[in-house]
Amino acid sequence: MICKNEKEKMKHLINISKDKRKLKTVDDGFNELLNLGRYFEDMAIEKVIMYHNLKDDTLINKNNNIYYDFEIENIGDIDNVKYEVKTDIKAVETNNIFVEFMSNNRDSGINKSMSNYYIIIIPYEEEPLFLMIKTLTLRDLILNRKYDRIFNPTLYNKFTGGYIFNVECIKIHSIIL
């Protein structure tokens, strides 16, 4: 459960980012969107540490490229577990999850990820939902066309493309953190 101050901070970041997502250029609101992503990424790291019952001083490597967001060096007998974190604000309203495969007319998201796990966050106001799914499972769902539809890249959407999944489809294949 998140405390009242955290809920207010989360609500504020979401509201700012909603306004920024309506702007025509990424530059106009990129910092606000980045702040929201970082906020939830930090929450995801805490949830993963708790899930694996790791120590607070566990070595976490944050990454700022398209391949993964953070890495934990040792989880049991597994070395270097990588995580990709995605916050889907619109999923609260649409009950759909967007899994990006292209941005700015280049492969991105699931097509470039080197993560072992995707953590998809749906920021419900009372309690955000953190879904951890193996990247291979997510790719298998795509390969087997378990998505509802494809959001095709166009000039209007800055050549961003993604698979649209119903939340329940991802949820049944995920661990809830």
Verdict on whether the full-model pTM lies above 0.75? yes
Q: What is the pLDDT of residue 78?
A: 72
Mean pLDDT over residues 29-41, rounded?
A: 78
Mean pLDDT over residues 111-119, rounded?
A: 96
CA–CA dist 9, 15 (Å, integer): 10
Q: What is the pLDDT of residue 17?
A: 59
Assign 32 to helix, strand or coil. Answer: helix
- Residue 49 — very low, low, confident or very high, per pLDDT cuts 50/70/90? very high
Structure tokens that stand for 164 in this block? 């649209």
CA–CA dist 137, 135 (Å, integer): 5
Model confidence at 26: pLDDT above 60: no
Model confidence at 23: pLDDT above 70: no
pLDDT-above-70 percentage for the chain: 81
Model confidence at 158: pLDDT above 80: no
Please choose, from the candidates 111, 12, 25, 26, the residue with its C-alpha nearest in 3D space to the C-alpha of residue 66: 111
Q: Considering only residues 53 and 131, tell me which one the structure prediction assigns the higher pLDDT.
A: 131
Q: What is the pLDDT of residue 160?
A: 84
Contact 11, 125 (CB under 8 A): yes
Assign 102 to helix, strand or coil. Answer: strand
**Lookup result for tokens 């990247």:** 135
- Residue 92 — very low, low, confident or very high, per pLDDT cuts 50/70/90? very high
Contact 71, 61 (CB under 8 A): yes
Of 11-25, 137-151, 156-170, least confident by mean pLDDT is 11-25
Model confidence at 65: pLDDT above 60: yes
Average pLDDT, rounded, for the chain: 85
Contact 101, 107 (CB under 8 A): yes
Q: What is the pLDDT of residue 82?
A: 95
State the burial class of residue 75 (Cβ atoms within 10 Å of its Cβ: 0-12, 13-18, 19+): middle
Assign 147 to helix, strand or coil. Answer: coil
